[in-house]
Amino acid sequence: MTSSAPPSRPPRAELHVHLEGTLEPELAFELAARNGVRLPYDGPDALRAAYDFADLGSFLELYTANMAVLRTAADFADLTRAYLRRAARAGVRHAEITVDPQAHLARGVPLEDVVDGVAEVLARSEPDHGISTLLVAAFHRDEPAAGALEVLDRLLAMDAPIVGIGLDNAETGYPPGLFTDLYARAEAAGLRRTAHAGEEGPASNVRDALDLLHAERIDHGIAVVQDPDLLARVAAEQVPFTVCPVSNVRLRAVPSLAEHPLPAMMAAGMLVSVHSDDPPYFDAYVDDVDDAVTAAFGHTRDQRAALAAASFRGSFLPPDRAAAHL
Ligand code: ES4
Ligand code: ZN
């Protein structure tokens, strides 16, 4: 998708974007050359052509393989800077960026290098890009919870500048209940809590993320429409849901945008906003997602404004700072 910036685009927040998922093929090859890593593609175009996914699993395989090029703090800084540049053009004024420390520890990249590289750029995001930022550390639900707890403890010990934690990767077979200790530790440490749930998994994962993990926000959560009682509850409680309709179509969680449950979620009165997830992988930054959603559902200006306002309301900003954007 191409993107221009029509003047009518309302300012918005990006609450659901994986830093590793913002790696553009061109930057991947640049970093590969810099680090002496070989990518099994002839070049950026060939890599991009491989972005045709059967499901979440096939995406995660390629996404994880591409991380091989991320080796140093400078690599993480470059990746973060490139994302913020593009996000500014998309009209993003506030971004809550997720990073997956375990993905890099597994490859022998020191935790300090990941955190320092990202944090150095985020610390200057407002003066350099006009975007306020918060960092979320997400844990892999398809790996043992004990390892996640260890990494969280290290992040806390090093006083990493994270606002909260998340839970991502493969959902099927890895219910929220496996991570009660992790989320309790995060809550006790004063961290905010989000979790992917109901992306490829059932509505019960959304309920368990709320009740067992005390998640304050749900990433995806599209399965909530399968459970009318839960749908009514999350609407009444105004639990923020960060929905990624283009991601869901590209990973075949839903057959088409037209069949996406976003309109049902909005009609139920939920606090729902739309986001990008992994922009180059799904060929859509958040401005493209907004345009695709507007076209698919014929949203009015008021509906677009409601989605943009929800993106700030659902943020982990202090309420007065979120309200300043509305
Ligand atoms: C992800 Cl689309 C998606 N789902 C779950 N985990 C993820 N990590 C990066 N993108
Ligand atoms: Zn995600």
Phi, psi (deg, nearest 5) at residue 75: -65, -45
Q: Is the predicted pLDDT of residue 6 greater than 80, yes or no?
A: no
pTM score over 0.95: yes
pLDDT reading at 4 higher than 90:
no
Per-residue pLDDT of 14-37, as tens digits, reads: 999 999 999 999 999 999 999 999
268 alpha-carbon distance from chain centroid: 23
pLDDT of residue 3 exceeding 60, the answer is no
Q: So what's the pLDDT on residue 162?
A: 98
Q: Is the CB of 276 under 6 A from ligand 1?
A: no
Whether 249 is in a domain gets the answer yes
Strand partners, 235: none
Which of 15, 278, 289 is the pocket-test mutation for ligand 1 (most atoms within 8 Å of CB)?
278
**Residue 10 domain-assigned?**
no
- 195 in a structural domain: yes
Q: Report which ligand 1 atom has the smallest distance to the Cα of 168.
A: 6
Torsion sign over Cα 63, 68, 73, 78: negative
Is 105 inside a domain boundary? Answer: yes
Q: Which of 20, 96, 199, 200 is catalytic?
A: 199
Residue type, 110: P
237 is catalytic: no
- Kindly state whether residue 234 falls inside one of the protein's structural domains: yes
Q: The domain spanning residue 22 has which CATH number?
A: 3.20.20.140
* Cβ–ligand 1 contact at 56 (below 6 Å): yes
Mean pLDDT (whole number) for 164-178: 98
- pLDDT tens digits for 67-93? 999 999 999 999 999 999 999 999 999
Residue 5 lies in a domain: no
Per-residue pLDDT tens over the stretch 197-217: 999 999 999 999 999 999 999
Tokens representing 119 are 């944090």
9 falls within a domain: no
Q: ipTM of this complex > 0.90?
A: yes
Number of structural domains in the chain = 1
Residue 196 beta carbon below 6 angstroms from any ligand 1 atom:
yes
- In whole angstroms, how far apart are CA 165 and each of 64, 119, 194, 232, 316? 20, 16, 6, 26, 11
Greatest extent of the chain over all pairs of C-alpha atoms, in Å: 54
Sheet holding 132-140, edge to edge: 12-18, 92-99, 132-140, 164-168, 192-197, 217-220, 240-243, 271-274
In a domain, 280, yes or no: yes
Is residue 26 within 8 Å of 322, Cβ to Cβ?
no
Alpha-carbon distance of 103 to 139, in angstroms, equals 9
CA distance 73 to 82: 14
170 Cβ contact partners less than 8 Å away, ≥ 6 residues apart: 56, 57, 60, 141, 142, 200
Is 229 annotated to bind ligand?
no
- What is the pLDDT at residue 205? 98
Express as a percent the part of the chain with pLDDT over 70.
98
Q: Identify the weakest region by mean pLDDT among 8-12, 52-56, 220-224.
A: 8-12
Task: Give pLDDT, residue 200.
Answer: 96
Token pair for 299: 């949203």
Q: Is 196 annotated as a binding residue?
A: yes
- Taking phi over 0 as left and psi of -120 to 50 as alpha, with beta for the rest, 297 belongs to alpha
User: Residue 155 in 3-state DSSP?
Assistant: helix
Of all residues in the chain, the percent with pLDDT exceeding 90 is: 96
Q: What is the pLDDT of residues 91-140, one digit of tens each?
A: 999 999 999 999 999 999 999 999 999 999 999 999 999 999 999 999 99
| Residue 278 known to bind ligand | yes
What's the rounded Cα separation, in Å, for the pair 105 and 110?
6
> Which ligand is closest to the CA of 99, given by its number?
1
Band of pLDDT at residue 297, cut at 50, 70 and 90? very high
CB-facing half-sphere around the CA of 325: CA atoms within 13 A:
28
Please work out whether the CB of residue 75 comes within 6 Å of at least one atom of ligand 1: no
Residue 220 marked ligand-binding = no
Q: Which two tokens stand for residue 228?
A: 């009318």
Expressed as residue numbers, the domain containing 150 is 17-323
Residue that the structure tokens 């350099």 belong to: 128
**pLDDT, position 326:** 86
Residues 296, 38 contacting (CB under 8 angstroms)? no
The CA–CA distances, whole Å, from 86 to 129, 293, 294 equal 9, 19, 21
Nearest CA to ligand 1 atom 7: 169
Confidence label for 9 from pLDDT (cuts 50, 70 and 90): confident
E strands, 90-216, in order: 92-99, 132-140, 164-168, 192-197
Q: Is the pLDDT of residue 262 over 80?
A: yes
